Amino acid sequence: MKVLVTGGAGFIGSDFVRLAARKGWKVTVVDKLTYAGDLERLKPIQDRLDFYNADILDRDEMRKIFEKHSPEAVLHFASETNIDRSVIEPSIFMETNIIGTIYLLELAREFNVKKFINITSYEEYGEIKEGERDEDCPLNPRSPYAVSKTSADMLGQVYWRALQFPVITLRLCSIYGPWQNPERLIPMTVLKALRNEPIPIYGTGDIIREWLYLCDCIRAVFAVLEKGKPGEVFNVGSGERFQVIDIVKHILKLLDKPESLIKFVPDRPGHEKRFAICSEKIKNKLGWTPTTKFESGLKMTIDWNLNNRMWLFKKLFYYEDLWSKLYRED
């Protein structure tokens, strides 16, 4: 299969690329290489793919890539994803996540792409105080990031309903695993614990999220690409939900670090307290099910970060500036 992967040097996209390349697929990767992208993630298979350091907002460059490679499928991972940063710089999220998606949909339609996999987020549902949300539940985004992903989600569905363009939508829960940037809770906690630095936790840390290990997420993406029908929407989650504070305390215990490193900071305005989705549809229709329990996935993730701490430390400079803006006392 010939696939074009946007954001293919990012955390989730690169894992898809590594597996697709090992399957012998013809893989074209487009990545802007912002702080979120890193070619080190693609080193093991770099001779088995075509890579372009390009912005999905550059229509002319993207057209050239489509013309040269004629992909059968597009996997759209490229996105601005830092929820906290979206509150500070919302326009960047609207441009990349909404306008960039429009450009890609238009090009993919023009070049007769057979499947367009649109990767979105369970953040679109907003806070879920009780129970869980399935794919037919209304969306209620509560942050600029969530608004931008909801817009991208809806755009894809409109292209299917109005134009019969074969878009399939995946709403992912919180993904964790190797190669994740320390903007995210688990690698941030490991990084700061290793440096014996305060670990900032919003409010009381009672936020509940649903967690899925990276390899299970990518298995879901492949299942949808190979067996999903155009127009379908799938939640991708594990059903395993934990409070942020409990995860941080568990990591500190595994690293033999004191809980005194935890520093509670003022909560983000409008911070949703609980996320929970129902993933029965993808299980029943496509036969996918997660295989990695959180306890073992977390241990593997921590071990990876310990064995690759130089890569983790390399990312520190960008995040120190971001953290200084987010976790100030005033």
Residue 321: the pLDDT is: 63
- Strands of the chain (E only): list them: 2-6, 26-31, 49-53, 73-76, 115-121, 167-172, 174-176, 199-202, 208-213, 233-236, 241-243, 262-265
Indicate the angle between helix axes 59-69 and 100-110, nearest 10 degrees: 30
Residue 268: the pLDDT is: 75
Q: Based on the domain organization, do 147 and 229 belong to the same domain?
A: yes
Dig out the tokens for 97 from the structure: 């996540």
Dig out the tokens for 5 from the structure: 């992967």
Q: Based on the domain organization, do 115 and 53 belong to the same domain?
A: yes
Residue 85: the pLDDT is: 80
Quick: pLDDT tens for 212-221: 999 999 999 9
Domain count, the chain: 2
Rounded to two decimals, what is the model's pTM? 0.94
Q: Based on the domain organization, do 143 and 200 belong to the same domain?
A: no
Residue 326: the pLDDT is: 57
Contacts of 89 (CB under 8 A, 6+ apart): none
Containing domain of residue 223, as a range?
2-175+211-236
Residue 325: the pLDDT is: 58
Rounded distance, CA 206 to CA 243, Å?
Answer: 5
Residue 207: the pLDDT is: 94
Residue 148: the pLDDT is: 96
Helix/strand/coil (H/E/C) assignment for every residue in 164-204 = CCCEEEEEECEEECCCCCCCCHHHHHHHHHHCCCCEEEECC
Residue 329: the pLDDT is: 46
Quick: pLDDT tens for 273-327: 999 999 999 999 999 999 999 999 999 999 999 999 999 988 876 666 665 655 5
Rounded distance, CA 290 to CA 124, Å?
Answer: 22
Residue 330: the pLDDT is: 41
Q: Based on the domain organization, do 225 and 315 belong to the same domain?
A: no
Name the 3-class secondary structure at 112.
coil
User: Could you report how far apart the first and last alpha carbons of the chain are, in Å?
Assistant: 53
Residue 314: the pLDDT is: 84
Q: Based on the domain organization, do 171 and 145 belong to the same domain?
A: yes
Q: What is the CATH number for 251?
A: 3.90.25.10
Would you say residue 39 lies in a domain?
A: yes
Q: Based on the domain organization, do 108 and 216 belong to the same domain?
A: yes
Low-confidence ranges of the chain (pLDDT < 50): 329-330
* Bridge partner residues of 50 (DSSP): 28
